[in-house]
A and B are shown apart, each in its own frame.
Chain A
Amino acid sequence: MITRRRFCKNALLVAGGIAMPLAALEWFDPKRLHAERKDAAPVRWGFLVDTYKCVGCGMCVKACKIENETPYDADVSRTWVERYIVTKDGRTHIDSPKAARDGFIDKRVDLGEGRMETIRDEDIEKAFFVPKLCNQCDNPPCVQVCPVGATYQAADGVVLVDRSWCIGCGYCIMGCPYGVRFFHPVYHVAEKCNFCYHRISKGMKTACVDACPFGARLVGNLRNPDDPVTKVIMSERVAVLKEEYGTKPQVFYRGLSREVR
């Protein structure tokens, strides 16, 4: 017979037993230990895109595809360039054929599935190019939704994907408001721009930054006040994409226009 007293006693013991290891988890949370160190994360990678300088040549996309081994002809890319054509009637025409890998060699606008739209030069009010890449968000929804933690944020802010751990559920692809992610055609796991992590962590620039002939792309350490990227962000008027999602993107744009999606 179990008496009430014995039951209560045992229940307390069990509850206490369970609580102990849980408490240990709290004590030894490595993230907190790390954060409590004074000199925590001296680096926070950020990016600056100067849309005034971009001419849509697509050198960055080419370089990225080769550097990061995204199959060259596959219709996915870690970075891409968008063309915006605003006509006098107020309409905005946007395209990015083949992610602008070959630049914009056709004046017609790509409407998808092989359809093209011709726009006469005299109808154009303004036109510009906008390069896109992962924003390495400070509050990344892609990390939040990954059910196994295969997508995670490094201490220097870059969001990475563990190819050996990703189960390929695609939740992160759905969770990113910028359409940055895709499934790698060879590895069949989530894939995205990681600021060429293998390069920046060795003191090099990203492949796209090196490839851009016009200096439209810059990567830098936002914790370093003397970094050219940080200087521009601190002293000039810059904007980020889709702020309303609360993702706190860390890719900054000069010359962003309200038409940009």
Chain B
Amino acid sequence: MVHGEAWTLKEFFVYPNEYIYWTIQIVMYPFMTGLVAGAFVLSSLYHVFGVKQLKEIARFSLVFSFALLPVAMMPLMLHLQQPQRGFEVMMTPHFTSAIAAFGIVFSTYGMIVASELWFVYRRHFVTTAAGLGGKASRSKIEQAWFLLYSVLTLGARDLGEESLARDEKAVRVLAAVGIPVACFLHGYAGFIFGSVKANALWMTPLMPVIFICSAVVSGIALCILTYIATMEIRKLVLSWQRKHGRALETKEELKSAEIQVVRMTSRYLIMFLVLAITLELLDLIFRGYTAVKSWDILRSVIYGRDFVNIFILQYGLGNLVPFILFLIPGLSIRRAAAGCALVLLGVFMMRWNVVIGGQAFSSSFAGFMHYQLPIWPDSFETFKEGLFGALMVGITPFVLFWLVTWVLPVFGRNDSR
């Protein structure tokens, strides 16, 4: 079987070698890197611009962005035909290719996030290590934690006023440097598509900017959503603790803090959403107005074959409805959660409509290709590039996040200023 044959349906004249080669994993790739970049930008709003209301969610989104990082690479590896050679992109990059920069951009960004995290958590590392170290007898597990935290301090155990102030300054600088790098990480994913001159739908210089805006939108939406979810869990835990008479905070305290954060954050969400939609519409209008050679086939894809995907799911459900949900005054937690979920759907559909939609027509401009997402895998290939492969990529960050929070607790800490 030829790669791509399993999920491509051809109609009218399509070149014999054309199939849908870039599938669901290439939809997941910009979606996941978008979440990484967006989460980071959100955390930087607090660290750089000092938006005080975002303090709680800032730490949370920074850790989340860290947990998402390895997942940005996963879809690419799952997509490669020779994944064992994937590393060569970093070892022997061919710099005229947009993909070749991946290693550099990605590792720069990774280092920035990791070091920012370290500065944010250094105090926690030191105090925990000191606390465990002070104990007379440690169990095996405590010993392991002690070792881990001692290593994590990297020997910098000074907690004086001055050194803490220096930590804070480092965080600010790293967060500031991180913003352009995060935008670059994602804008460059847009460039990978936007620079393919052979593809009439992809080729536009607006692509990187559109990608960045929608990335920030999706990152913020996911952070709010996960934040709400974790808060709900904490509330459950609290009421359980109440019953056993050892609660620290009251439920109401949590609740009011939560709605504060959510309202503030969703304001930024709206801002970026408006920007993203404006650019996307500009692109669409421009294509229709200039109507170059490819417009005939693009029009039949955009207004015909992909109409539901583009106008109902992406713009309607994914943009317009959440827009209204957020703008109706008196935003409640539940409404915010629904809005964020829809925004995520919208951004996912945008990626889908770019990646799959860009291959919905043949480069002969005389035929169409239809992508059938493999659901039940009957081979490794249809697993990787099917529903379950995508779900695997989608779930991994949450598992990682859960693991990371064992070491880097996100909530109920007041040690950073």
Chain A residues within 8 Å of B, Cβ to Cβ: 74-77, 80, 82, 92, 94-96, 98-99, 111-113, 132, 141, 143-149, 165-171, 173-183, 185, 188-189, 244-246, 261
Chain B residues within 8 Å of A, Cβ to Cβ: 1-5, 9-19, 21-22, 76, 79-83, 85-86, 88-89, 92-94, 96-100, 102, 192, 195-199, 293, 362-367
- The chain B residue with its CB closest to the CB of A98 is B16
When A74-B2, A77-B16, A182-B2 are in contact, do A174 and B196 touch as well, CB less than 8 Å?
yes
When A96-B16, A183-B3, A183-B81 are in contact, do A167 and B88 touch as well, CB less than 8 Å?
yes
Chain B: minimal CB distance from A88 (Å): 19
Q: Are A144 and B364 in contact (CB under 8 A)?
A: no
The residues of A that contact B83 with a CB separation of less than 8 Å are 167
Complex alpha-carbon distance, A98 and B192, angstroms: 32
The 3 closest A-B pairs by CB, nearest first: A168-B81, A179-B15, A147-B99
With A147-B97, A181-B17 given, can you name 10 additional A-B contacts, CB distance below 8 Å? A74-B2, A112-B367, A141-B198, A145-B98, A148-B85, A168-B80, A176-B198, A185-B1, A188-B81, A244-B293
Q: Are B363 and A169 in contact (CB under 8 A)?
A: no
Q: Are A94 and B366 in contact (CB under 8 A)?
A: yes
When A147-B100, A167-B86 are in contact, do A113 and B9 touch as well, CB less than 8 Å?
yes
The residues of A that contact B363 with a CB separation of less than 8 Å are 177-179
Complex alpha-carbon distance, A141 and B19, angstroms: 19
- The chain B residue with its CB closest to the CB of A109 is B13
The residues of B that contact A99 with a CB separation of less than 8 Å are 16
When A112-B11, A113-B10, A148-B89 are in contact, do A171 and B82 touch as well, CB less than 8 Å?
no
Choose from A95, A147, A173 the contact partner of B89 (Cβ within 8 Å): A147
Q: Are A148 and B94 in contact (CB under 8 A)?
A: yes
Q: Are A149 and B16 in contact (CB under 8 A)?
A: no
Complex alpha-carbon distance, A181 and B198, angstroms: 13
Complex alpha-carbon distance, A112 and B19, angstroms: 13
Complex alpha-carbon distance, A177 and B318, angstroms: 32
Complex alpha-carbon distance, A10 and B367, angstroms: 62
The residues of B that contact A149 with a CB separation of less than 8 Å are 92, 94
Complex alpha-carbon distance, A130 and B93, angstroms: 38
Pick the most buried of B17, B76, B97, B192: most chain A CB atoms within 10 A of its CB: B17
Chain A: minimal CB distance from B86 (Å): 6
**Can you list 24 A-B contacts with CB-CB less than 8 angstroms, sorted by A residue number?**
A75-B2, A76-B2, A76-B16, A77-B16, A94-B12, A94-B364, A96-B16, A113-B10, A144-B96, A145-B98, A145-B99, A147-B94, A147-B97, A148-B89, A148-B94, A166-B81, A167-B80, A169-B80, A174-B199, A181-B17, A182-B17, A183-B21, A189-B81, A244-B293
Chain A: minimal CB distance from B385 (Å): 11
Choose from B5, B82, B192 the contact partner of A189 (Cβ within 8 Å): B82
When A77-B16, A188-B82 are in contact, do A171 and B99 touch as well, CB less than 8 Å?
yes
Q: Are A111 and B3 in contact (CB under 8 A)?
A: no
Chain B: minimal CB distance from A130 (Å): 11
Complex alpha-carbon distance, A146 and B95, angstroms: 9
Q: Are A170 and B22 in contact (CB under 8 A)?
A: yes
Chain A: minimal CB distance from B17 (Å): 4
- The chain B residue with its CB closest to the CB of A82 is B13
Q: Are A183 and B4 in contact (CB under 8 A)?
A: yes
Choose from B9, B18, B89, B195 the contact partner of A179 (Cβ within 8 Å): B18
Complex alpha-carbon distance, A75 and B197, angstroms: 26
Q: Are B80 and A245 in contact (CB under 8 A)?
A: no
Complex alpha-carbon distance, A236 and B196, angstroms: 33
Complex alpha-carbon distance, A132 and B364, angstroms: 12
Chain A: minimal CB distance from B192 (Å): 8
Choose from A170, A181, A261 the contact partner of B81 (Cβ within 8 Å): A170
- The chain A residue with its CB closest to the CB of B93 is A147
Choose from A82, A94, A95, A179 the contact partner of B17 (Cβ within 8 Å): A179
The residues of B that contact A146 with a CB separation of less than 8 Å are 94, 97
Q: Are B3 and A245 in contact (CB under 8 A)?
A: no
- The chain B residue with its CB closest to the CB of A71 is B2
When A147-B100, A169-B99 are in contact, do A177 and B2 touch as well, CB less than 8 Å?
no
- The chain B residue with its CB closest to the CB of A152 is B94
Chain A: minimal CB distance from B7 (Å): 13
The residues of A that contact B192 with a CB separation of less than 8 Å are 171
- The chain B residue with its CB closest to the CB of A183 is B3
Complex alpha-carbon distance, A230 and B400, angstroms: 62
- The chain A residue with its CB closest to the CB of B381 is A188
The residues of A that contact B198 with a CB separation of less than 8 Å are 141, 174-177, 245
The residues of A that contact B89 with a CB separation of less than 8 Å are 147-148, 167
